[in-house]
Amino acid sequence: MTKPQLTLVENTGATRGRSDGRVTAQRHGAAGHHIVERLPRIDQLDLFDVPALPDLRVFIVAMDTVHGRTLQKAVLSNKPRSVIDLRYAARFDQYGSDRDTLFEYFKAVGSYYALDSMPWHDLSVGDFMTEGVQVPRVYHELVNLGKGAVMLFVPKPQHASMLTAYLNRMLSTKAKISWRIELIG
């Protein structure tokens, strides 16, 4: 059995950035992370380039399934400027964490926490695919304020998927900057 070989090629100076504006989805090795990202067009990847972070990073956390330590690490490593809790009831009872510790981390990284409840029990997938759902605070944070990291709390993983569909549609038409959506938990 032969091993595959890596061949280095000279960088011809091709323009960086994906001009077609397509959205790509990737799964990374870390459990519980799913990334949807709008990347610039790249004609040839440079082996030694570190990809630049997008201007806007959105982290959606399914609070019913996330472990407390995973959530704490996500807050400390990503330093969101805003944390918007979209759950109907704001509970912080994950294993490995508690409300006081989590809010200390928010304070330490300079995050603003806001509760903006949504009636998830009355919403369906179809509502997020059409114009049936409007989330004004999220729209303001992502489109009007733009750059930085924003963390959104939703109850369940299926709600995270529905919100991702909404954000992809909204940001594709409204955002003038690069963006990336990560699902945590």
What's the CATH code, domain 53-184? 3.40.1010
> What residues does each domain of the chain span?
53-184
Average the pLDDT over 57-82 and give the result.
Answer: 93
CB half-sphere exposure, 76, CA atoms < 13 A: 10
Q: In what order do the strands lie in the sheet with 148-154?
A: 23-27, 33-38, 179-184, 56-62, 148-154, 82-85, 112-115
Name the pLDDT band for 33 (thresholds 50, 70, 90): low
Evaluate if residue 39 carries a pLDDT over 60: no
pLDDT over 70, % of the chain? 68
**Tell me, what's the pLDDT at 131?**
65
Average the pLDDT over 1-11 and give the result.
Answer: 66
Pure H helices in the chain: 68-78, 99-109, 125-129, 136-139, 157-174
Name the pLDDT band for 22 (thresholds 50, 70, 90): very low
Evaluate if residue 11 carries a pLDDT over 70: no
Please, what is the average pLDDT of the chain? 78
Evaluate if residue 51 carries a pLDDT over 60: yes
94-134 pLDDT, tens digit each: 888 899 999 999 999 999 999 988 877 777 776 666 665 66
Q: What is the pTM of this model?
A: 0.69
- Contact yes or no for 23/37 (Cβ under 8 A): yes
121-174 pLDDT, tens digit each: 777 776 666 665 667 777 788 877 878 899 999 999 998 988 888 888 888 887
CA distance 68 to 155: 14
